[in-house]
Structure 1
Amino acid sequence: MATTQLAEDLPGICVDDHGSAIGMPQLCADWVPNQIFWLVITLVVIFFILSRIALPRIASVVAERTGTITNDIAAAEELKRQAGEAEKDYDRALADARAQAQAIGQQTRDDIKAQLDTAVADADAKIAAKTAESEAAIDEIRASSVANIEIVAKDTALAIVAALGATADQETVSRAVDSRMKG
């Protein structure tokens, strides 16, 4: 009787056939329509909150991120294209620099060869001049040595004739040495 009195005093408490309270009130069949009503109201409120506040914010964040990603991809493609062009320009500049270095090297080799040819020609001319001078000096020495030999031969012949005890005149000795020197 005490449980029946409790059920009458607190409406909504489920009691079994013996008048005792059921352990889980949410499973009480008397309360199911009330629970469904509040469940529907709660779901409608959550739906309106989500559809009016949360989902537009989420959609704007997703759209912003999608736009950012799209812009980043486009910027990356542009940077990739620019990097490709820069690499082509670099390769072209490198090839031009190599060609220019080859041209400078060839020009330098040509200049050095021309200078070397000029120096060799100058050296050859100096050597030829020195050779001509030397030959002239040798011819002079040869001519003077022949004259000196002739004088020495004449003086020696006079001395030999005098040493042998004979007398010879200068004219006879000169003719004898001249004829002998000619061959």
Structure 2
Amino acid sequence: MSQSTTVLAQAETEAPAAETPATAEAGHTEGTAAEGGHGGAFPPMDTSTYPSQIFWLFIFFGLLYLLMSRVALPKMAAVLEKRSARIESDLAKAQTLKNETEAAVAAYEKALADARAKAQDIAVETRNRMASEMDAERASLEKTLAAKVSEAEAKIAAARAASMKDVGEVAAESAAEIVAELTGSKVSKDAAAQVIAGLKA
């Protein structure tokens, strides 16, 4: 009894396993149909839809061409033209500034060269004027010194003559006194001066 029961149980478990592939395939087909699956070819590759696809292709390309030619391309051309005009204006302005800078540099170099030449001329003129003034002052000083030297020499000569005259008188007086002391006789001052003058001659 127990053996028959086990055999029946094994038969029941094997029967559903044998039916499983068929039932699985049927269930899969039903599930695909229920989910909206297609049994035909991929729609873009379906030759029956080519005319409508070509028609809508021409429609959309025509609309795209109109949109690009009437709206997008004119705006792009205006932007490019505006940018080109701005670039040309900037280049012209830069060239103008460059020319002005070069002119300013040339004017500065010319002014610097003129200033150097003028400074050199002023230095030469000042040197010549100072030399002439120094020569004039030297000549005036030499003239003044020569006058003072001649005046001093005249004063010295006059003082020498005066002092020699005084020396002669003193010598005559001294000689008269000496003769009077020695001989006891009085000799005049004029006689002593004549004797001294005769000795000098």
TM-score (ref. length: structure 1): 0.75
1:83 partnered with 2:101? yes
The match for 2:119 is 101
Matched, 1:16 2:39: yes
Q: Which runs of no fewer than 5 residues in structure 1 stay unpaired? A: 8-13
Counterpart selection for 1:60 from 72, 78, 98 = 78
**In the TM superposition, what is the alpha-carbon distance from 1:160 to its structure 2 partner?**
2.7
1:89-125 deviations in Å (ceiling 9; x for gaps): 2222211111111111112112212211221121112
Kindly state the Cα deviation for residue 32 of structure 1 after the two structures are TM-superposed. Answer: 6.5
The Cα shift of 1:144 comes to 0.7
Q: Which runs of 5+ in 2 are unaligned?
A: 1-29
Q: Distance in 2 between matches of 1:160 and 1:30?
A: 182
What does residue range 37-56 of structure 1 map to in structure 2 within 5 Å? 38=56, 40-56=58-74
- Match of residue 72, structure 1, among 70, 90, 105: 90
2:145 maps to 1:122: no
State the distance in 2 between where 1:35 and 1:159 align.
Answer: 175
CA distance in 1, matches of 2:77, 2:105: 41
Q: CA deviation at 1:133?
A: 1.0
How far apart, in 1, do the equivalents of 2:195 and 2:101 lie? Answer: 105
Superposed CA RMSD in Å reads 2.9
| Counterparts of 2:43 and 2:164, CA distance in 1 | 155
Superposed CA deviations along residues 47-101 of structure 1, whole A, max 9, x for unmatched, are 3222222221121111111111112212222222222222222222211111111
Distance across 2 between alignment mates of 1:76 and 1:103: 40
Q: How many percent of aligned residue pairs carry the same amino acid?
A: 32
Is the 8 Å Cα contact of residues 172 and 190 (structure 2) preserved in structure 1?
no
CA distance in 1, matches of 2:179, 2:130: 70
Match of 2:5 in 1: none
The structure with the greater share of residues assigned to helix is 2
SS of aligned partner of 2:114: helix
Corresponding pairs, count: 170
What is the CA–CA distance in structure 1 between the aligned matches of 2:161 and 2:139, rounded to whole Å?
32
Give, in angstroms, the shift of residue 162 of structure 1: 3.4
